A and B are shown apart, each in its own frame.
Chain A
Amino acid sequence: MIDVKDLTYSQAVGELEGILRKMQSDDCDIDSLAAMTRRAAELLAECRSRLTATDEELRAILATVNPQQQQ
């Protein structure tokens, strides 16, 4: 299984959608369910962290794009 860090966002979301489809379609096998849920959680956390930032991170980013500081 590829490390989530090495996936593009689209690949990660694609894998998530695949997992969800599999969980929805298969007659729920509790052994594979645990593995699928763990992987899904990992992918979700990675996608979220790429989409969103903490307040501190945002402040740091904002400091680099402040129009006053550009001048």
Chain B
Amino acid sequence: MIGSNEITSRHDRITLLQLQQRVQSLVAVPETQNVWVTAELSDVAERGGHCYLELIQKDHDGITALAKARAMIWANNWRYISADFQNQTGQRFATGLKVMVRVSASYHPLYGMSLVISAVDPRYTMGDLLQRRREILARLKAMGVLEMNRSLDFPSPTLRIAVVSAPGAAGFGDFVNQLYRSNDLRIRFTVRLFESVMQGEKAPRSIIDSLGRIAIQADQWDCVVIIRGGGSTSDLSAFEDFCLAEAVANCPLPVIVGIGHERDVTVLDYVARERVKTPTAAAELLTAMAAGHLEHLRDIANGVLRITADCIGGAERQLALAGSMLSLAPESAVSRAQQRLTGALLSLGGISSRVLTPQHMRINSLLHGMHSAVGMLLQRRTSRLASMAELLAALSPEATLRRGYSITRVAGRCVTDASSLAPGTEIETLLKNGTIISSISSTSQTEKS
């Protein structure tokens, strides 16, 4: 029971500040000063040149936090520590790493407990995480699978994407959003989510299972994208897993890993075909590859177009030249032919006057000559015929008969020899006028002189 009398009666009461100052003095004992401590880094951030972070110790399961403390490295120390750490380990002094640090606990009445780090031993970090990673990589190399996924080519084109991620996670949303909504080129991506646990100790097994499911239908996909959203990244050590690294290296499809931010490196980054910082960057990589294909198509199209245009242009110029010549050619050909014809005609005319006229004249004179020759011939023949007709008339039997001669016939034949005739033969005597029929009584021969 708390009563007002009790409170007012306490004379040994102190103020909050006084209490805090007591704690402060209790904390600032040699046992808490400059002590080497091992822990895991988380939420490492730089502000105003100072480094603020949290040191965490986890249970063996790697999830449950057993201890947690705010810590800082003041700017004067931070400059040296960060440079030295990166030099020695090849890693940035960043969340997720296991470290050994020299700390002094301090208590501030306003800000509470914090650990001021004055030194870091990089050998511890290397001896832990990096050493483990190196061992994993060395084992994969010895098995001959280290470079297997890295040496795969992305199919041409890479459009069908099997995504290994947590359902509903911001990482997958970012990826899909970048792939489709920011897709000015309208690339025909096909995406399917193969749901996996992406945090904690169950993550490796779950991701390996998803990779197995994808491998069974590898012909349906062009590549695998393993993505996880940002946020607290202190459990990246789940990805430092030999079996998972082996599964990624053995994946028949090229794998893109984007499981954290730039500062987070896991063993998967060494075995996957590509590593990107974020799910968005994974989508950008795929879009850029597709854009490259489109660009290539555009180059070919431009090449074909240019050559075609050049070729057709050349042919057109050739045609135009031929055309202009064609329009002139017939005219000149016709006029040439006309000239030839005219020349032929002219020379023909010359030939006719030169050759035909004398021939004409010759024919004419021939005709004329023939005409008069025929006339004279006819005249001569006519007068000859006339004298012959006169002679004929004088020699004709009628004329002889008129002069008192007669013709004796026997059986129609003229008789000129009396000895051939027998007495009694009937003879016919023709006179100028009339005929005498008589019989022969005797014949006598005329004396030949």
Please report A residues at the B interface, Cβ cutoff 8 Å. 9-10, 13, 16-17, 19-20, 23-24, 28, 30, 33, 36-37, 40-41, 44, 47-48, 50-55, 57-58, 61-62, 65-68, 70-71
Contact = CB atoms under 8 A, between A and B. Distances in A.
B167 A71 contact: yes
B172 A52 contact: no
29 contacts: A10-B156, A13-B293, A13-B300, A20-B304, A23-B307, A23-B308, A28-B310, A33-B312, A36-B304, A40-B300, A44-B300, A47-B293, A48-B294, A50-B188, A51-B294, A52-B185, A52-B187, A52-B188, A52-B294, A53-B186, A53-B188, A58-B188, A61-B180, A62-B176, A65-B193, A67-B173, A67-B176, A70-B167, A70-B168
Nearest to A49: B188
Contact of A9 (B156, B301, B312): B156
A40 B315 CA distance: 20
Nearest to B189: A61
B188 A57 contact: yes
Nearest to A48: B297
Nearest to A62: B180
B165 to A, nearest CB: 9
Given A51-B297, A67-B172, A19 B304 contact: yes
A51 B304 contact: no
Contacts of B304: 19-20, 23, 36-37, 40-41, 44
Top 5 nearest A-B pairs (CB, nearest first) are: A53-B188, A28-B311, A65-B191, A23-B307, A52-B186
A67 B294 contact: no
Interface in B279-295: 290, 293-294
Nearest to A21: B303
A51 B290 CA distance: 7
Contact of B156 (A13, A37, A41, A67): A13
B315 A58 contact: no
Nearest to B174: A67
A57 B314 CA distance: 43
Contacts of A36: 304
Given A28-B307, A44-B297, A67 B167 contact: yes
A65 B293 CA distance: 24
Given A13-B297, A23-B303, A44-B304, 11 more contacts: A9-B156, A13-B296, A13-B300, A19-B304, A23-B308, A44-B301, A50-B159, A61-B189, A66-B176, A67-B169, A67-B173
A51 B190 CA distance: 11
Interface string B149-183: 00000001101000000011100110010001001
B180 A24 contact: no
B139 interface: no
Given A67-B176, A70-B167, A61 B190 contact: yes
Contact of B303 (A20, A52, A65): A20
A50 B297 contact: no
A57 B186 CA distance: 9
B180 A16 contact: no
